[in-house]
Structure 1
Amino acid sequence: MRGKLHPLLDEALEAHGGHDHWRNFKGIASTILTGGRLWELKGTPLTPVPRTRVTPFGEPDWTMTWTPEHVEITAGDGSIIAERDNGREAFDRSFNGRWDPLNLAYFNGYAMWTYHATPFVFGEPGYEAREIAPIENEGQTLRGVAVLFPESVHSHTREQRFYFGSDGLLRRQDYTVDVWADTPAAHFTSDYVDVDGLKYPTRRSVFTIKSDGTLARDFNAVTIDLSDYALF
């Protein structure tokens, strides 16, 4: 049984469809079209993917499967093309450092899990929240909460900041990317759709944040278009 939630997270979970309703499903799938400058910088072009099981990946019949402890790329016949344990330790963490396919698989795996699971997963045990100052975005005041993820959960970094609109929906998520030179980023979500009673965004856009706190609008690191959501 979960403990008492921060009031803003409690409101946000209800606005997104509710933690209890989310728990009725075992998983979610979506079609994802990803762009942005990060993939060119890291030398790793990305193909459309469903959830954290990515196919195609590199070749038409290859599939990537990610878990926090293990990532692997397999061929259509089931043979293993490449695999790696403890993928978080294998990165060149410099800003311009290149990523190999297993680096990409690990990054894409944990990132897409985070994006599909939040904010619902905050109703699970082990997440800690504290209120932070609101921010302004396109004429709206967004209320904020900083969430500390459990140590066992793999994501961009342990503490991330989440900002919600007056409707309770997530509009912005700020974090530093540990595996990418601790680069600070602002992640915007929009164009929500209803999926079996749960609310999910169909547009995501990520910008790096400059040292003065402003967005690097000339560096749109990642864009994500989502469609064909399915809960199962």
Structure 2
Amino acid sequence: MSLVDAAIEAQGGLERWREIERIEVEFRTGGIALPLKSQPDLLRRVTAVAETGHPRVEFRGIGTFDSSDRRPAGMARRFRWTPQDVVHFAGYALWGYLAVPFVFADDDVDVVELSGRRLRVDFPPRIPAHCRTQVFHFDEDAVLTRLDYTAEVMLGPFARAHHRLYDHEWLDGLLVSRRRRVTPLSLPRPILVSLDIDGFRAY
């Protein structure tokens, strides 16, 4: 079995993923990234509902991200984000975190297996992402443990990051990381973004 297929099965399998229309997530965020953009509190504690078939995420009481909407201009250059900017950033990021690795099976997603149980993935324009090319790391059980990317909307090409996943748990037929930490590339600190999941429902 290829690493792509093993990773999809380890997370719950395509059959289960395709049964799901929406995922509701209750979560908390922290880290220095949003405070640096003058938005320290908007996502402290949030409930979001993501559609699996299309990149769309509703943040209850805050706003809705839809991939058909144009990205707000100048996000990487501006140090003062609007709530719309935060919704865009958090929306595409959360949708991607939920959809990986299942979207790796899509025909227009280019996946190359690398040494060290890694996958290099090139995302098509229809899938919003931190950057087009990302590298995903898997353990011996084909469980995703880390991804490397550049969060282009934060600081352009300078926002290179490690994103680590912890505390995996089976919830509604999917293997979910309840705790995520993002740090600068090759550095343990500072924490750029933390994400802790308190509730998860797939239906």
Q: TM-score, normalised to structure 2's length?
A: 0.88
Which residue of 1 is the match for residue 71 of structure 2? 87
Q: Does 1:115 align with 2:97?
A: yes
Unpaired runs of at least 5, structure 2 = 50-56
Unpaired runs of at least 5, structure 1 = 1-5, 58-63, 71-85, 135-142
Q: Does the 8 Å contact 1:19/1:121 carry over to 2?
A: no
Q: Work out the number of aligned pairs and report it.
A: 191
Shift of 1:48: 2.0
Which residue of 1 is the match for residue 192 of structure 2? 221
Q: Does 1:13 align with 2:37?
A: no
Which residue of 1 is the match for residue 142 of structure 2? 168
CA distance in 1, matches of 2:79, 2:173: 42
Q: Percent identity?
A: 33
- Tell me the amino acid that sits aligned with residue 227 of structure 1: D
Q: Does the 8 Å contact 2:166/2:180 carry over to 1?
A: yes
Task: Report runs of 4+ in structure 1 exceeding 6 Å deviation.
Answer: none
Which residue of 2 is the match for residue 106 of structure 1? 88
Question: SS where residue 147 of structure 2 aligns?
Answer: strand
Alignment map for 1:9-158 (pairs within 5 Å): 9-45=4-40, 46-49=43-46, 50-51=48-49, 52-57=57-62, 64-70=63-69, 86-88=70-72, 90-94=73-77, 97-134=79-116, 143-158=117-132
- Tell me the amino acid that sits aligned with residue 74 of structure 2: F
Which of structures 1 and 2 has the bigger CA Rg? 1
CA distance in 2, matches of 1:172, 1:219: 17
Over the aligned positions, Cα root-mean-square deviation in angstroms equals 1.6
Structure number with the higher helix fraction is 2
CA distance in 2, matches of 1:28, 1:122: 19
CA distance in 1, matches of 2:6, 2:111: 13
Question: SS where residue 126 of structure 1 aligns?
Answer: coil
Work out which structure has the larger RCO, using CA pairs closer than 8 Å and 6 or more positions apart in sequence: 2
Q: Does the 8 Å contact 2:38/2:79 carry over to 1?
A: no
Question: SS where residue 97 of structure 1 aligns?
Answer: coil
